[in-house]
């Protein structure tokens, strides 16, 4: 697998160097006819706005090409407009400032990036409801006060890292409380994950599980499943608590056991046969998460998990199958176009399906660099 990943790594570097040189200071979300759009003025607070910076930092860490550092710093500075917008801050601060400010601090030691990271962590901690969860989206009337989503597991490392930096246990305790709530209410007995859970915001009691961005209530949105297996793995790495590793394994087993032999990941594991939507974002996230879980099992799992080596092999092989499908069948390697992946989907019931989305490219790069050893681990 490493020889394959090295070959893809070279393709990534050739393409992204050309893109970085011509893109200017855009904050891209998708691409139209191979050209990235710009969300700087459209929605500076959009949850995906850190991923282009994350791609640039991954490439800078791997190559030390200055253009990547320049592009990443431009984007991070733009996001100051987000961090100063109360209504623009939400549960996705990890996606925005781990990919930018934490990566910057790791690679450059920037004090400004350090400050941004802690500001973002403090704001995320402020979204914690003592009933046991971190609130998801904003709304002016408070109608969503009891809503939480599986995606938030990926933002918890922002809180774990804040405790590691400051020595203040509050951040970690908030993260663990939310993760424990997710084990109890988001993960079903078969290891599949709900996207949204609505709680009573006063008591924390379970109220409902809307279908969210998947096919419907009771279905399994594949991107949500990838957030689950990846997010619980990271909670284990930051805490050493066995329950998080066990839950990550349950979620990863469901993902791996439902991955087709082709490696092509559907939009929802329980969607109808037609239309046969795919989501390459879910695929790249799931592959990267399984690679991290496999590495974790090899490094730390043998003392607390039976069959760790067998599970690690299973996840590595599944990840490789997924990545080979993506790089052979759904990737644009032309340096004259901006995006890599072509067939990402935001939500099942959206009007538009199978188009480029920036975080699909980020997690593809992360997964390949994870195999080659070129990754800057930001989580």
Question: What is the domain extent for residue 278?
Answer: 2-372
Q: Does residue 283 belong to any structural domain of this protein?
A: yes
378, part of any domain: no
The whole-number pLDDT of residue 305 equals 81
In Å, how far are 95, 270, 273, 298 from 261, measured between CA atoms?
31, 17, 16, 24
CATH of the domain at 17: 1.50.10.10
Count of Cβ atoms closer than 10 Å to residue 259 Cβ: 24
In a domain, 379, yes or no: no
Distance from C-alpha of 309 to C-alpha of 341, rounded to nearest angstrom: 31
Please check whether residue 50 is in contact with residue 95, taking contact to mean a CB–CB distance below 8 angstroms: yes
Residue closest to 128 by CA, chosen among 45, 201, 198, 193: 201
| Chain segment 217-255, per-residue pLDDT in tens | 999 999 999 999 999 999 999 999 999 999 999 999 999
pLDDT for 339 equals 98
Average pLDDT over residues 146-175: 98
Does residue 368 form part of some domain? yes
**Does residue 8 fall inside a structural domain?**
yes
- The average pLDDT across 81-88 equals 95
**What stretches of 123-225 adopt beta strand conformation (E)?**
128-129, 133-134, 147-149, 196-199, 206-208
Using the CB atoms, write b or e for 164-183: b if 16+ within 10 Å: eeeeeeebbebbbbbbbbbb
pLDDT at 304: 73
pLDDT of residue 306: 81
pLDDT of 301 above 70: no
Q: How many domains, the chain? A: 1
Q: What is the pTM of this model?
A: 0.97
Assess whether pLDDT exceeds 90 at residue 70: yes
Does 112 map to a domain? yes
């Amino acid at each position: 697998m490493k020889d394959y990943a090295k070959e893809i790594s070279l393709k990534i570097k050739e393409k992204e160097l050309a893109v970085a040189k011509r893109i200017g200071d855009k904050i891209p979300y998708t691409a139209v006819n191979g050209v990235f759009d710009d969300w700087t003025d459209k929605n500076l607070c959009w949850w995906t706005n850190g991923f282009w910076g994350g791609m640039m930092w991954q490439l800078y860490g791997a190559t030390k090409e200055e253009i990547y550092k320049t592009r990443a710093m431009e984007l991070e500075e733009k996001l100051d407009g987000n961090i100063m917008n109360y209504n623009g801050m939400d549960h996705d601060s990890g996606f925005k400032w781990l990919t930018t400010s934490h990566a910057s601090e790791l690679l450059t030691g920037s004090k400004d990036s350090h400050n941004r990271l802690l500001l973002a962590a403090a704001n995320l901690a402020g979204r914690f409801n003592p009933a046991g969860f971190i609130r998801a989206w904003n709304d002016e009337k408070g109608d969503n006060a009891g809503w939480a989503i599986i995606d938030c597991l990926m933002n918890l490392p922002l809180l774990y890292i804040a405790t590691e930096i400051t020595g203040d246990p509050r951040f970690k305790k908030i993260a663990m409380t939310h993760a424990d709530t997710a084990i109890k209410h988001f993960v079903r007995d078969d290891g599949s994950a709900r996207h949204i859970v609505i709680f009573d915001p006063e008591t924390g009691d379970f109220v409902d599980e809307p279908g969210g961005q998947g096919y419907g209530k009771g279905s399994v949105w594949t991107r949500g499943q990838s957030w689950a297996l990846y997010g619980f793995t990271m909670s284990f790495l930051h805490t050493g608590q066995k329950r998080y590793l066990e839950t990550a394994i349950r979620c990863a087993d469901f993902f791996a056991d439902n991955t087709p032999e082709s490696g092509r990941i559907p939009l929802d594991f329980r969607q109808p046969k037609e239309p046969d939507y795919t989501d390459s974002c879910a695929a790249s996230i799931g592959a990267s998460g399984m690679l991290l879980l496999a590495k974790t099992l090899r490094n730390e799992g043998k003392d607390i998990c039976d069959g760790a080596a067998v599970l690690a092999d299973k996840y590595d092989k599944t990840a490789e199958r997924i990545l080979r499908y993506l790089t052979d069948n759904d990737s644009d390697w032309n340096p004259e176009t901006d995006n890599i992946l072509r067939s990402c989907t935001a939500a099942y019931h959206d009007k538009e399906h199978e188009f480029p989305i920036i975080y699909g490219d980020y997690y593809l790069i992360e997964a390949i660099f994870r195999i080659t050893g070129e990754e800057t681990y930001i989580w």
